[in-house]
């Protein structure tokens, strides 16, 4: 029986094929895991971004919502409502950097250890260093 060249072949038929893209090549190669999906670029400021004026915030929260200014969650303190990012509160970390957060994440009681991206990276580096030097978790 003569097969036509257009028949679909199995990926495991021994025919060498080039991978479609980098992720596919990593998944098909032996011993290499596919890269984990990343969240979008995290917004992070070293200087306070533009905020809504206090009078404008009072007018916004007169009918609904809470004014979260001054509320602390972990290492972060709510500074004000962001002008550049819609429906986001600007939070100031104890290290001095600023990041946006939603009102829901500020009110969430499970976010007791909330901190900025830089502080989380430093904390993770400390844990990894301690584990590699002592063999024990922190």
pLDDT in tens, 70-108: 999 999 999 988 888 888 899 999 989 999 999 888 988
Integer Cα distance of 126 and 80 in angstroms: 31
Position with higher pLDDT, 13 vs 44:
44
51 is a domain residue: yes
- Domain boundaries, position 52: 39-134
125 is a domain residue: yes
Q: Structure pTM?
A: 0.61
SS3 at position 123: helix
Integer Cα distance of 107 and 114 in angstroms: 11
- Of all residues in the chain, what percent carry a pLDDT higher than 90? 14
31 is a domain residue: no
Reply yes or no on whether the pLDDT at 136 is more than 60: yes
112 is a domain residue: yes
124 is a domain residue: yes
Token couple for 129: 């260093």
Q: Specify the number of domains making up the chain.
A: 1
Token couple for 109: 């009681």
122 is a domain residue: yes
> CA neighbours within 13 Å on the CB side: how many for 40?
2
SS3 at position 33: coil
70 is a domain residue: yes
Q: What local confidence, expressed as pLDDT, does residue 28 receive?
A: 57
44 is a domain residue: yes
CA dihedral 43, 44, 49, 53 (to 10 degrees): 70
Reply yes or no on whether the pLDDT at 31 is more than 50: no
pLDDT in tens, 38-50: 544 567 788 888 8
Q: What local confidence, expressed as pLDDT, does residue 100 receive?
A: 93
């Amino acid at each position: 029986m003569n097969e036509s060249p257009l028949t679909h072949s199995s990926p495991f038929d021994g025919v060498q094929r080039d991978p479609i893209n980098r992720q596919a090549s990593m998944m098909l190669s032996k011993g290499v895991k596919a890269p984990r999906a990343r969240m979008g670029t995290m917004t992070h400021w070293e200087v306070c971004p533009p905020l809504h004026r206090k009078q404008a915030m009072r007018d916004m929260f007169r009918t609904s919502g809470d004014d979260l200014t001054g509320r602390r969650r972990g290492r972060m303190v709510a500074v004000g409502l962001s002008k550049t990012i819609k429906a986001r509160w600007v939070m100031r970390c104890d290290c001095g950097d600023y990041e946006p957060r939603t009102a829901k994440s500020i009110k969430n009681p499970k976010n007791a250890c909330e901190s900025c991206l830089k502080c989380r990276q430093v904390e993770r580096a400390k844990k990894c260093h301690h584990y590699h030097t002592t063999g024990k978790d922190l």
